[in-house]
């Protein structure tokens, strides 16, 4: 499944009224914590269903979705990473964990962090040194600090 097809699917199932509510709820206005986020109005259960449907998508496509301006594409990418992490061997888990930490600037809202931090960063560090969390807790980035807490 290509990113282009996934984006088309999200737009098809999106709901303009929900998108407007999400824009307000997630504080996307100038100076607010979610400034600039764009929503298409796809609900979380639907994104979880799509993650199961597209679970074989490649890591490069997941990265594209993670770097999107569209909030639901980023959340879908995180659900896909969680799935890959849960099925991966130790080297795959490490790659996903490192990818996650290298892309925290795109994991920039409470629902994105709360849906993924425990299942990726927390799971990876469970039986390892917690030093990376201490670095995150000192970050200027609110969302990196939240990742360390979750």
pLDDT in tens, 85-118: 999 999 999 999 999 999 999 999 999 999 999 9
Burial of 38 (0-12, 13-18, 19+ CB in 10 A): middle
Task: Centre a 10 Å sphere on the Cβ of residue 39 and count the other Cβ atoms it contains.
Answer: 22
pLDDT at 1 over 80: no
Residue 86: strand, helix, or coil: helix
Instruction: Kindly report the pTM of this predicted structure.
Output: 0.95
pLDDT at 45 over 80: yes
Non-local CB neighbours of 123 within 8 Å, separated by 6+ positions: 85, 93
pLDDT of 24: 87
Over pLDDT 70: what percentage of the chain?
99
Over pLDDT 90: what percentage of the chain?
89
Residues facing 38 on adjacent strands:
70
């Amino acid at each position: 499944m290509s990113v282009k097809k996934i984006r088309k699917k999200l737009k098809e199932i999106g709901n303009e009224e929900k998108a407007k509510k999400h824009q307000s709820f997630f504080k996307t206005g100038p100076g607010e914590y979610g400034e600039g986020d764009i929503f298409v109005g796809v609900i979380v259960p639907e994104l979880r269903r799509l993650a199961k449907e597209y679970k074989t998508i490649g890591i490069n496509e997941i990265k594209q979705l993670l770097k999107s301006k569209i909030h639901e594409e980023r959340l879908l990418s995180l659900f896909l990473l969680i799935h890959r992490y849960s099925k991966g061997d130790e080297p795959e888990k490490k790659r996903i964990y490192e990818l996650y930490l290298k892309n925290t600037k795109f994991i920039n809202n409470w629902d994105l962090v709360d849906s993924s931090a425990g299942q990726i960063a927390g799971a990876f560090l469970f039986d390892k040194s917690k030093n990376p969390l201490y670095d995150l807790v000192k970050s200027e980035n609110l969302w990196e600090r939240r990742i360390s807490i979750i």
